[in-house]
Amino acid sequence: MNVFQKKHLFFPFVRLLKFIVGLAVSVQVIVITYNHFSGYFLLDGFQHFLFRLFRGTGLSVIAGILISYPNLFMIHYLNQSAPWGKKTIARIAVQFSFSVWVAVVVAVAFTLFANLLTPYSEELRSVIINNALIFAVVNIMIMTVFEGWIYFDESRHAKQMAENLQEELSQIRFEVLKSQINPHFMFNSLNVLSGLINKDVAKAQQFIDEFSLIYRYVLETIEQPVTTLG
């Protein structure tokens, strides 16, 4: 299983896409609303708002996917080279720097692409800086969410494995106990039968009949983990 497939164990594409779309819509609504009321980019009406929202969300989803997978690969790499609890400070520094760097690269690329589709009325340089800051903040949030998400899933998985191992251990102990009981029971029963043969043949025959019934019952129920008290 390669690293890309391992990412989808915790982050199936559908789940990841839902997360990115929800985040993209939320960020676009906040940014568009803030830009309008601050006078940075005034909207002409509700249709203009929808146009900006759909276009921004579409580009943000693509950018989010391009950002998310490098984040996941970086987390996978740091879990091996700088695990939490051992190199925490170094890990935080690397993740912060990496998140900002990836966000800036993607922000510049997508701002230039969006400008080709519909040229910005504002100065392109200021738009790039503004988008880079927004992408950097959002990517730090995404990296934090991924870290918490992976930690939760791995903790749940480890707990489930521990419960399974405990159940298997209990079953092994039960089987060992049965294997220890059977020879002791057989040995004690034969000693009793040996004493009865010399003293009371009738009781010895009755004992053999009862003994055979017991072992027939044992053979029928030995694979069952529990049985009735009766």
- H helix intervals, 39-123: 46-81, 88-117
- pLDDT at residue number 182: 65
Contact assessment for residue 78 and residue 94, using Cβ atoms and an 8 Å cutoff = yes
Distance CA 94, CA 106 (A): 18
43 Ramachandran zone, left/alpha/beta (phi>0; psi -120 to 50): beta
Gyration radius of the chain's alpha carbons: 34
- Name the pTM for this structure: 0.60
CA angle 141, 142, 144 (to 5 degrees): 65
- pLDDT at residue number 98: 94
pLDDT at residue 9 greater than cutoff 60:
no
Amino acid at 91: R
**Closest C-alpha to 141, from 57, 24, 36, 38:** 24
Distance CA 115, CA 221 (A): 76
**What residue segments make up the domains of the chain, in order of their start?**
3-165, 168-221
Q: In percent, how much of the chain has pLDDT > 70?
A: 83
Q: Which tens digit of pLDDT belongs to each residue from 132-182?
A: 998 899 899 889 988 888 888 878 888 888 888 888 877 777 666 666 556
Task: Work out the number of other CB atoms within 10 angstroms of the CB of residue 119.
Answer: 9
Instruction: With residue 131 as reference, give the H or E element that holds it.
Output: helix 124-199
Q: Which tens digit of pLDDT belongs to each residue from 17-60?
A: 888 899 889 988 998 898 888 887 788 888 989 998 998 888 88
Amino acid at 88: T
SS3 state of residue 29: helix
- pLDDT at residue number 230: 62
DSSP code, position 223: T
